[in-house]
Amino acid sequence: MISDKSIPAAERLIVALDVPRAETARALVEQLGDAVQFYKIGLELFMAGGYFELIDWLVARQKKVFVDLKFFDVPETVRSAVRALASSGASFATVHGNQAIMEAAARGRGEGGTLKILAVTVLTSLDRGDLDDLGFDCDVEKLVLSRARRALLAGVDGIVSSGLEAPLIRRELGEKLLVVTPGIRPVDNKPADDQKRTVDVAQAFRNGADYIVIGRPIRQAADPRAAALAVQRTIAEVFA
């Protein structure tokens, strides 16, 4: 079940820069240094200003960038947005929508470039009760697998999925899609945490994840660099 894709172990950890200002993000990146090679930047920083300058800054430092804006709009608008992003140097971007939206994103990224499109399946902050509220009359696993199959047909490169559903995706779809797993908690989840469907680092990779995304457990650690290095040691052991 462990990923056999030729991904450097040190790049399998993606740190979420979910902070209020670009300056705070840069300071954290500098603090983490060579302990982290891949960063996710999302809506909070997008609204704070300096988003694209931050992408340039990260790329100039040979860091990989995951643009997590979950594009969801009229398909042609999504295609145009992805096309504009494709030359930024970003490695991943997320799309969140139906078949036509995913297909448009796949067209927008073009062929032969570095940008890969990831389709969001079910947010890791949602559980069965949340899906009931949203009107989805099926269990989480069925919904995730359905969306993963549609993503594959749409021509996107991978999916964002909880580590809990990763084994099912690997059993049904093999290694055809990249699997990026957020909601990673190296220790027991805190009661106030908004992530509900979580796994730890080793379990995520043993379940079939290609990459993991970690935010607060590293950002809020007493020593973020030490926390990141501890995660990297676990990853190195899994892929040894």
- Residue 168 CA to residue 177 CA, distance in Å, equals 13
Catalytic residue among 40, 70, 116, 176: 70
Residue 60 CA, distance from chain mean position: 21
What distance in Å separates the CA atoms of residue 164 and residue 140, rounded to the nearest whole number?
A: 10
Is 64 a residue of the active site? no
Query: How many whole angstroms separate alpha carbon 224 and alpha carbon 149?
Result: 37
DSSP strand E in 34-106: where? Answer: 38-41, 64-71, 92-95
Q: How many helices and strands in the chain, by DSSP H and E? A: 11, 8
Residue numbers annotated as active site: 70
